Structure formats: C-alpha cells, structure tokens
C-alpha cells in the first residue's frame, strides 16, 4: 500500500516537534512525512536580543542548528526534508506548490497537511529601515549573514533608539546597554505609560529601575510616528513632536503572519489562519472537514509563544494520527489566560510574571538571563521541548 503523505510547511518550534511526533509512529501510520523549510537551520530566536547585541555571547552553531541531522535516525522512506518555500495550497487537488532553493518548482500531493509557517517581525523583514535585525527566521537560508550584519550595526552605533517596550524591546535594551561602550546612548520608546504593560505594574517598575541603572533612557506614553533616513543617520519622529537623531533604529513591535501561500479563505481579518480547538483549519466556506491543520504563531490563537507553539504541535500531530488511524482520542488546545513570562535585563537579572508573581531579579538570572535557554535549543529541535 502506498504510504500516506503528511506534509508540514515550516520547520521551527511547531514543524520539528510535530514531525518527530508523527515519525515516532510512522510505521503504524504507514506514513511519509515531508518537511518544507527555507533554511537548513533551526534558529533559537528566543535568544535573539542577546545574539544581535553581543557577537561573542554564543557560537553560531549554538543558535543555528542543522535541521536534517535531527531526522537522520528515521528511514528515508518515512522522511524527506525539502529546502524551499511553499508557494500555494490547492485544496481540491490536495497539493502544495513548492519552490526549492535549487531546482525546478514542484507540486507535492498530501493526504494530511500541517501549516506551521509562523510569523515574522518588521525588524526581521527590515521593512521600516531597509536592513534586517533578525528576531525570527528570515524565510531564506541567510540567517548567519543577517545576524553578522546586524551585530556590526549594533556594535558600531553610538546612538540607538528602540521602538516598543514589550518583552523584546526591554530585553534588547538591557543587552545593548551591557554590550556597548560608555558614552553610547540607548533610548527605549514605550507607547504605553509603563514598559511591559501586559505584566503586573511591579514588573514594569522593576524593569524601568534596572534599565535606568544601565543608563537606558526610557520614554513612556510616547509613540514613534515616523522613521526617516538622513544620510548616515535616522530621524525618529515621536508623537510628542520631538525628533531623535540616531545611528540605529530598531523596531521591536508587530507580528506579521507568514501567509503569502495560504488560501484567502483560511485567513481571518488580520491574516492569521483560523483554527478550531482541535487546530483544524476553518475556511470561510464552512468546509471544515479538510485534512488541514495549523499550529503555533500562524494561527489565530493569540498567545504567540514558543511553549504554546510546541503544545499546539503535539495536539495537531495527535489529531492527524487519529485521522489516519480512525482511532484514538482527539485533543483540544486551551491556551488559558495565565501569563508566564521571564524577561532578562542583561546577564545579572530581569523581571517577569510567573503564576501571578513577579520573580526576584536573581531568579530571572538563574532561569533565563544566564543563557537565554540556549542549551534547550537541541531539545526543541529533537521534539523534546
Ligand atoms: C525576539 C523574540 C523572543 C522570543 N522569546 C520567547 C520566549 O522567551 N519564550 C517563548 O515561549 N516564546 C518566545 N518568542 C516567541 C516564539 O519565537 C514563537 O512563538 C515561536 O517561534 C513560534 O514557532 P512556530 O513554529 O509557530 O513559528 P516560527 O518560529 O515563526 O517558524 C516558522 C517557520 O516556517 C518557515 N516558513 C515560513 N513561510 C514558509 C513557507 N512559505 N514555506 C516553508 N516554510 C516557511 C519559517 O522560515 C520558519 O522556519 C519570542 C519571539 C521573538 C520574536
Ligand atoms: C479562530 O477562528 C475560528 C473560526 O472563525 C473561531 O471559531 C475561533 O474561536 C478563533 N480562535 C480564537 C482563539 O479566537
């Protein structure tokens, strides 16, 4: 009997976890899993704020890990990695069009499909400034070069403005403040009246205190309304009327769905893929029984976090198995509403919110600031997050 084709688009937190979960059962499923991704490496982007600020904090091979190697243990009949980009999904012929990094465009048939294409950010695409500060995979196989170029910019700037004071903006400000020479000015612009405004206010004050001790200027209740290049520098216009002249502007807000290849009918008004609790795609036409799932950042589930992505990956893989085997118990995803976030501010500390409590700075250091979870990257790639 010909194997069942399961195609997964995207090989990051979701794609890798789901692929391993399915491959563990590949024989019983009589399945072949095809994983498509534009880069050969899995990017430990959780550490991006430290990576872009401190070129020597980690080795590149600690945060850019070869994807195929982690699947080498499976027989070639059950697994294929395609270095390339999915360009279209045809629901009636059940095919995915793929443009490989080299070679001709091709069409893959699927019996079951998992969309795991995630999200990017304005800093990654460089749409505001024309250059990339990569906080997410780039959609090409060029992250090493992008990161090196970003490190050159952060280490040579004498004046840096960071737009947005959510966790990424705060973490980046803390890392840069530690990395730069004395006399380099760092300004963090927060649209809200306190940084980290989704966390408890005591976390915000802790963050503001720690940043000020590191000589970061924090502007609250201030919005960036325009960024213009002016020769070698940038002019950042604020809604207060003030204009900041800077060598480097880094936006840290915004999340953009990687949905260019996804049928319009799968997408909600903001461009995220609509899924039900079982993570099955819910097209606008009501044909909810398509054998197509989506998980992680690309979905309309609002907590776009790595751990939530992994949780969804396991649920989607489980439900695909149930579809294939016509037996077993289907699972559902409930994101809950508890905030779990640790925010390093440099190597010595930070803040956050864990089970309703704001952790002491030294606890944040022990949990995350010391290494940004980099030692966990191989586990996530191996499906053991
Ligand atoms: C700076 C930063 C720090 C973060 N820190 C944390 C943290 O501390 N803790 C936490 O839990 N979460 C954190 N997150 C969130 C976390 O990174 C995401 O939730 C997680 O990466 C989502 O995984 P994913 O697999 O859904 O998608 P992504 O990681 O976005 O991966 C999608 C993959 O699909 C690929 N792809 C896209 N389009 C196509 C296509 N057309 N064809 C083939 N492949 C495609 C992409 O190249 C990429 O490899 C952070 C995010 C950022 C930006
Ligand atoms: C996602 O969209 C689907 C279909 O519209 C909807 O049923 C579901 O509740 C949405 N999920 C969230 C978390 O809003």
At 129-183, the pLDDT tens digits run 999 999 999 999 999 999 999 999 999 999 999 999 999 999 999 999 999 988 8
Residue 385 CA, ligand 1 centroid: distance in Å: 14
Output the furthest CA–CA distance in the chain (Å, rounded).
69
- Residue 13 CB less than 6 A away from ligand 1: yes
User: In this predicted structure, what is the pLDDT of residue 2?
Assistant: 85
The closest ligand to the CA of 108 turns out to be 1
Contact 98, 82 (CB under 8 A): yes
User: In this predicted structure, what is the pLDDT of residue 354?
Assistant: 94
Task: Identify the segments of the chain with pLDDT beneath 50.
Answer: none
The closest ligand to the CA of 294 turns out to be 1
Residue partners of 338: CB distance under 8 A and separation at least 6: 355, 356
Q: Which of 278, 368, 362 shows the shortest CA–CA distance to 323?
A: 278
Q: What is the DSSP string of 244-298?
A: EEESEEEE----EE--TTS-GGGB-TTSPBPB-TT-BB--TTS-TT-SEEE-GGG
User: In this predicted structure, what is the pLDDT of residue 337?
Assistant: 84
Protein residue whose Cα sits closest to atom 13 of ligand 2: 301
Select from 3.40.50.9100, 3.40.50.720, 3.40.50.1240, 3.50.50.60 the CATH code of 157-255+338-381: 3.50.50.60
Protein residue whose Cα sits closest to atom 6 of ligand 2: 276
CATH superfamily of this structure's domain 4-120+258-325: FAD/NAD(P)-binding domain (3.50.50.60)
Protein residue whose Cα sits closest to atom 1 of ligand 2: 274
Residue 233 CA, ligand 1 centroid: distance in Å: 30
User: In this predicted structure, what is the pLDDT of residue 288?
Assistant: 67
Long-range contacts of 367-370 (CB under 8 A, 24+ apart): 367/342, 368/342, 368/344, 369/344, 369/345
Residue 375 CA, ligand 2 centroid: distance in Å: 35
Output the ligand 2 site: residues, CB below 6 A.
268, 274-276, 282, 300-302
User: In this predicted structure, what is the pLDDT of residue 338?
Assistant: 85
Protein residue whose Cα sits closest to atom 3 of ligand 2: 274
The closest ligand to the CA of 256 turns out to be 1
Q: What is the pTM of this model?
A: 0.97
Contact 349, 364 (CB under 8 A): yes
As annotated, the residues of the chain forming the CATH 3.50.50.60 domain(s) are 4-120+258-325, 157-255+338-381
User: In this predicted structure, what is the pLDDT of residue 284?
Assistant: 86
Residue 297 CA, ligand 1 centroid: distance in Å: 7
């Amino acid at each position: 009997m010909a194997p069942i084709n399961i195609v997964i688009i995207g090989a990051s937190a979701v794609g890798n976890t789901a692929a391993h979960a399915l491959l563990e059962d590949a024989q019983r499923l009589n399945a072949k899993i095809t994983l498509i991704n534009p880069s050969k490496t899995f990017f430990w982007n959780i550490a991006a704020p430290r990576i872009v600020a401190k070129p020597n904090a980690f080795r590149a091979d600690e945060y850019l890990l070869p994807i195929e190697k982690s699947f080498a243990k499976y027989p070639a009949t059950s697994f294929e990695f395609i270095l390339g980009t999915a360009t279209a999904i045809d629901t009636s012929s059940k095919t995915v069009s793929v443009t490989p990094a080299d070679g001709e465009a091709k069409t893959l048939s699927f019996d079951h499909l998992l969309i795991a294409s995630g999200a990017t950010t304005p800093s990654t695409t460089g749409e505001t400034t024309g250059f990339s500060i990569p906080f997410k995979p780039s959609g090409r196989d060029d992250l090493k070069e992008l990161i090196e170029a970003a490190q050159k910019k952060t280490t040579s700037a004498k004046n840096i403005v960071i737009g947005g004071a959510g966790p990424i903006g705060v973490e980046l400000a803390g890392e840069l403040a530690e990395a730069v020479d004395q006399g380099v000015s760092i300004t963090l612009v927060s649209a809200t009246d306190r940084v980290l405004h989704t966390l408890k206010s005591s976390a915000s004050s802790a963050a503001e205190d720690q940043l000020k001790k590191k000589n970061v200027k924090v502007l609250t209740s201030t919005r960036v309304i325009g960024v213009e290049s002016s020769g070698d520098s940038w002019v950042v216009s604020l809604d207060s009327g003030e204009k900041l002249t800077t060598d480097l502007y880094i936006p840290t807000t915004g999340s953009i769905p990687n949905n260019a290849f996804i049928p319009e009918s799968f997408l909600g008004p903001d461009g995220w893929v609509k899924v039900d609790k079982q993570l099955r795609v819910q097209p606008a036409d009501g044909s909810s029984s398509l054998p197509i799932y989506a998980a992680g950042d690309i979905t309309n589930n609002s907590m776009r976090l790595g751990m939530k992505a992994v949780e969804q990956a396991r649920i989607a893989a489980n439900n695909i198995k149930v579809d294939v085997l016509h037996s077993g118990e289907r699972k559902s995803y409930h994101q809950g509403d508890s905030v779990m976030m640790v925010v390093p501010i440099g190597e010595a500390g930070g803040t956050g919110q864990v089970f309703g409590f704001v952790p002491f700075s030294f606890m944040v250091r022990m949990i995350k600031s010391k290494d940004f979870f980099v030692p966990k990257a191989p586990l996530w790639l191996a499906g053991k997050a």
